[in-house]
Structure 1
């Protein structure tokens, strides 16, 4: 698989539940149930990705549990505990023009409206009110910054996102 064909991890399989091979599911999607919008899943079993079908799922207390095709008993389920759940990139849902997947923003150059290159997006943090770009500054940053935190608020601070050229334009003072 090439880099852009590597599975995108959406969650992981947890502990077995019961004697019929059900597993607890940890989802990294916006809503826990959102992980079931994708099919088929890929699971990383003993270091190798393989396709698996979810037969059924349901809430169980505060958790979600699922039954996978071919997993019929507790021992088989226990062998899959902590396996990652992934999907191929082409399975990702299309987003509106003003929405972005975090994975597409990581690594983008951040330039302010006056042309100053502030560095690259290193990671994104979710806060209660908005997401925040953690921008790792260039090695010889003129303002002596190692990192900048820029709220991802479109029209106020984020003026343009060009995923083709991997560049985000911001209305942000480089001294912040």
Structure 2
């Protein structure tokens, strides 16, 4: 069982019409030199009023690459650990402040630990440099398909967590990358020593020893974890 993380902070916020961040663990490495090219002519980069409802932040443009308008992207998941969400999408959405743009992808590939891409309408280095600092989003529906035992972080946020005895432990607020595996950060209502309502927290490793079932349809994760752990 594995979960796809966003790298970096590894944060994935609940969907509420606003775009979210995602990530990916244990991603099968993509071909480092494979170039994914879009078929046929594409329109240029254009301003848009809003992002798609399922837009997910996957990286940020950090520099130009070469002299022909290619950009370099720091992928939240790492180039070979989920960065193929960037190389597989035919269109990116770019956000900087309140500005939003759609950017058709002409070609994209992994390059060392980054993603490099040619966006339609960016024909030289100066145009590519002008895109530095823009955050990159792709549609959740454009993410590569996963195996049966793999999950994207963004799909786990908000799921109810119960143990095998049916005791509710809270809901997934976030996931943490500890280097070896993902950890579910589960929040639940509690009471402080002063009697005031507080939010409690449980950290449950996302590994088969503890996570017994993930039912996305039922929005529930079943774990081998006691409420007093």
TM-score by length of 1: 0.81
Q: Which moved more, 1:12-21 or 1:116-125?
A: 12-21
Shift of the 127–68 alpha-carbon distance from structure 1 to 2, 3 Å rule, reads same
Q: Is the 8 A contact 1:119 1:137 kept in 2?
A: yes
Among 53, 75, 79, the residue aligned to 2:130: 79
For residues 1-176 of structure 1, the aligned pairs below 5 Å read: 3=17, 5-32=53-80, 34-45=84-95, 47-55=99-107, 57=109, 59=111, 64-139=115-190, 146-154=200-208, 156-176=209-229
Which segment is superposed worse, 88-97 or 39-48?
39-48
Against the structure 1 CA distance between its residues 63 and 114, is the aligned structure 2 distance closer, same or farther, given a 3 Å change threshold?
closer
Provide the secondary structure at the position in 2 that maps to 1:87. strand
Deviation of the 1:87 alpha carbon:
1.8
Distance in 2 (CA, whole Å) between partners of 1:93 and 1:62 is 19
Call closer, same or farther: CA 1:22–1:51 in 2, change over 3 Å. closer
Q: In structure 1, what is the Cα distance between the partners aligned to 2:148 and 2:114? A: 33
Q: Which runs of 5+ in 2 are unaligned?
A: 1-15, 18-51, 193-197
Q: For 1:114 and 1:5, how far apart are their aligned partners in 2?
A: 36
Shift of 1:62: 6.1
Greater helix proportion: 1
Q: Could you give the per-residue CA deviations for residues 77-126 of structure 1, whole angstroms, max 9, x where no partner exists?
A: 22211212222222122222221111111111111111211111111111
Query: CA-to-partner distance for each residue in 1:58-81, whole Å, 9 max, x for gaps?
Result: 63x765533322112233222211
Give me the CA root mean square deviation: 2.7
Q: Which moved more, 1:116-125 or 1:78-87?
A: 78-87
SS across alignment from 1:90: helix
Distance 2:95 2:132 in 1: 9
> How many equivalent residue pairs?
171
Aligned mates of 1:114, 1:58 — CA distance in 2: 45
Structure 1: distance between partners of 2:122 and 2:85? 19
Tell me how far 1:36 sits from its aligned partner. Answer: 4.8
Shift of the alpha carbon at 1:13? Answer: 1.1
Note the residue ranges of structure 1 that are not aligned, 5 or more in a row: none
Alpha-carbon distance between aligned partners in 2 of 1:104 and 1:161, rounded to the nearest angstrom: 10
